[in-house]
């Protein structure tokens, strides 16, 4: 190629009209405005013909290279998992948003990497919820001026209070949370808290409640009613009864965006795990999970179209929160992965989940409480929900059994297990389901 270019250098100086004839549109012969590939009337030397071929191959190569880099340039970037994993993490555990499954993921990571977790103090099962979080709700903190950053991971239920959380977590903590479509989130809350929330107790169905919610809802009656209106908004530390004034909403959304590095979407859980894994620079097995705290389909109600629209108005703050961070989630996902990468990593995640399901579980489908053999794997039951769990396969080896037990362990039992590991000299958590 180099010799050809050298041999034809004089062409650029002596015969500019010939080269120009190759590259200019040929309107005179066929009246079509394209770059003519026909030979000119003048005869060409072999060197000239070689130059023509080389030039077109060069143009084609440049076009192909530009196209490749435009579509798949991210494939050339080294995998972030090669860097040290993120180990200081605060997860705001919202309600009825698949957050129990993420809690399980974080507990497993904490134990396998010998990290410390900010666990509820004493007999508590959450970090002071529904009150705003303060440090005294955490086990093992000294309540004095010498309060230090003791913990790597914080993931139990709390109502977010940033100044107090900062006292517990290191300055380089990665903050993230998860949201769910408010229509499905409220439906799940209604079933799960049916006997607990005053606003739900006097109505037969969520459709009936949504037809006239103020007939049943009174914010001043009980804090338990937070589950009935803008519950996710409340979890982020805001007033769930505030009017959906756009200036107020924009201010709060900006505050969340400034304090949280990532907000996941439960409706796209697998995609959320792919993005979370990349942001935390974790291994694949760190984010593989079994679905926990799920209900049987018989307890899932299907709202009428009218009720679904009413949820958007009744839970207007939750709706604004969800809509905004659903958009930011997809923006971040597409900025992080090309379409090909996303497809490949989703398949890797799902294939590994299938492998661990086959390895660990007697049956891939979760079971009713009465069909779960191990008491330690029986989930807590609430309201009208029928919460399902898993049976492990028999004859598992010690290492495999350890992995499978942690993946299938319900939230309360897992918290009690983590508490005993971290505070072996304290009285164990009292979990009735674990008693023989």
- Predicted pLDDT at 45: 72
- Predicted pLDDT at 430: 87
Compute the 3-state secondary structure of the chain and give helix, strand, coil in percent, each to the nearest 5: 55, 5, 40
H or E segment to which residue 92 belongs: strand 89-92
- Cα–Cα distances (Å) from 435 to 382, 392, 430, in that order, read 18, 19, 9
pLDDT, tens digit (0-9, with 9 covering 90-100), for 286-297: 999 999 999 999
419 φ, ψ (degrees, to nearest 5):
-65, -45
What distance in Å separates the CA atoms of residue 198 and residue 217, rounded to the nearest whole number?
8
- Note the pTM of the prediction, 2 decimals: 0.81
Q: Above 80 in pLDDT, residue 10?
A: no
CA 175 to chain centroid: 12
When pLDDT is cut at 50, 70 and 90, the band that residue 389 belongs to is very high
In the block, which residue shows the tokens 């005993």? 420
Q: Which residue has the higher pLDDT, 369 or 33?
A: 369
86-434: in CATH 3.30.70: no
Q: Above 90 in pLDDT, residue 70?
A: no
- Predicted pLDDT at 342: 98
pLDDT, tens digit (0-9, with 9 covering 90-100), for 135-176: 999 998 865 555 566 899 999 999 999 999 999 999 999 999
- Predicted pLDDT at 58: 76
Identify whether the C-beta of residue 80 lies closer than 8 Å to the C-beta of residue 253: no
- Averaged pLDDT score across all residues of the chain: 87
pLDDT, tens digit (0-9, with 9 covering 90-100), for 243-253: 999 999 999 99
């Amino acid at each position: 190629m180099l010799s050809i270019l050298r041999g034809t250098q004089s062409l650029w100086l002596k015969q500019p009209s010939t080269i120009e004839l190759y590259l200019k549109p040929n309107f005179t012969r066929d009246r079509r405005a394209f770059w003519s590939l026909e030979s000119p009337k003048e005869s060409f030397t072999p060197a000239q013909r070689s130059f023509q071929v080389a030039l077109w191959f060069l143009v084609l190569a440049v076009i192909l290279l530009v196209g490749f880099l435009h579509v798949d340039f991210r494939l050339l970037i080294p995998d972030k998992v090669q860097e040290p994993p993120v180990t200081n993490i605060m997860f705001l555990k919202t309600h009825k948003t698949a957050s129990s499954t993420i809690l399980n993921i974080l507990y497993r990571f904490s134990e396998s990497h010998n990290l410390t977790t900010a666990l509820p103090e004493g007999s508590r099962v959450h970090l002071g919820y529904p009150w705003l979080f303060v440090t005294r709700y955490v086990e093992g903190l000294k309540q004095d001026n010498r309060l230090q950053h003791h913990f790597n991971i914080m993931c139990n239920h709390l109502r977010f209070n940033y100044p107090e959380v900062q006292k517990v977590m290191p300055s380089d903590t990665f903050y993230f949370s998860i949201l769910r479509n408010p229509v499905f989130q409220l439906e799940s809350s209604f079933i799960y808290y049916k006997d607990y929330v005053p606003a739900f107790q006097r109505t037969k169905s969520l459709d009936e409640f949504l037809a006239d919610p103020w007939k049943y809802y009174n914010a001043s009656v009980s804090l338990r009613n937070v589950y009935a209106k803008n519950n996710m908004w409340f979890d982020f530390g805001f007033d769930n009864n505030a009017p959906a004034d756009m200036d107020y909403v924009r201010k709060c959304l900006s505050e969340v965006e400034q304090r949280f590095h990532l907000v996941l979407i439960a409706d796209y859980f697998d995609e959320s795990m792919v993005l979370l894994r990349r942001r935390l620079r974790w291994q694949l097995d760190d984010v593989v999970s079994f679905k926990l705290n799920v209900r049987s389909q018989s307890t899932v109600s299907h709202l009428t179209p009218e009720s679904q629209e009413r949820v958007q108005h009744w839970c207007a703050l939750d709706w604004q929160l969800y809509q905004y961070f659903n958009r930011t989630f997809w923006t971040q996902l597409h900025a992080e992965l090309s379409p090909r990468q996303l497809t490949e990593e989703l398949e890797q995640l799902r294939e590994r989940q299938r492998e661990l399901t086959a390895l660990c579980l007697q049956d891939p489908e979760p079971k009713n409480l009465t069909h779960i053999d191990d008491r330690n794997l029986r989930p807590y039951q609430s309201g009208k929900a029928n919460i399902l769990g898993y049976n492990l396969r028999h004859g598992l080896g010690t290492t495999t059994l350890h992995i499978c037990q942690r993946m299938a362990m319900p939230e309360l039992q897992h918290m009690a297990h983590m508490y005993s590991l971290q505070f072996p000299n304290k009285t164990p958590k009292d979990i009735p389901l674990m008693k023989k």
